[in-house]
Amino acid sequence: MKKAQKGNDKAFLKLFQQYEENIYRMAFIYVNNKDDALDVVQEVAYQSFKKIHTLKKPEYFKTWLIKITMNCAINLAKKNKKVVQLKPEFEEFIGLEDEDIPLSLSLQELIETLQEDEKSIVLLRYYNDCTFKEISDLLNIPLGTAKSVLYRALDKLRKKYKEGDICER
């Protein structure tokens, strides 16, 4: 870690590669696209290499990378949402809004229904096995807020799951 913080690119690369798969998986959840997720990994590598000297506690390297990943992925997802346009020739393939289409949601689709803060906390807690304390530190929010946002998000997910007629009551 000390070598990496002093600008040794080989030392940094060795450290980064330990978490590269975790970064990719986290990015993919936000951007829903392999190419965009790879772009996020590349951006995280660049940003973290550029700013590694600012990391005060080396034991939080993974947490620090996850925070950078979340920020980069959210920024890219927001940017991509602004770009979506529908070509007129594809309109015939779109059903009418009032059509009664059975709703079935995947876990990914359920997670997409959450607000960004809720999604981040759910992913950190269950996908990256972060403690509430780590989530609180990572997102710079009070411990109680992390807990309440998680429970609110889980409640939303349960309700959405039941609305989708996926489970029996």
Tally of domains within the chain? 2
pLDDT tens readout for residues 12-43: 889 899 999 989 988 888 888 899 999 999 99
164 with 121, same domain: the answer is yes
Enclosing domain of residue 144: 105-169
Residue 19's CATH number: 1.10.1740.10
- pLDDT tens figures, 70-123: 889 888 877 776 544 444 444 444 444 444 333 444 667 777 788 888 888 888
Sequence-distant contacts of 59-66: CB under 8 A, at least 24 apart? 60/137, 61/1, 61/15, 61/19, 62/19, 62/22, 63/130, 63/134, 63/137, 63/138, 65/16, 65/19, 65/22, 65/23, 66/22, 66/23, 66/26, 66/124, 66/128, 66/130, 66/138
pLDDT tens-digit readout, 124-162: 888 777 889 888 888 888 999 999 999 998 888 888 777
**Does a structural domain hold residue 87?**
no
pTM over the 0.75 mark: no
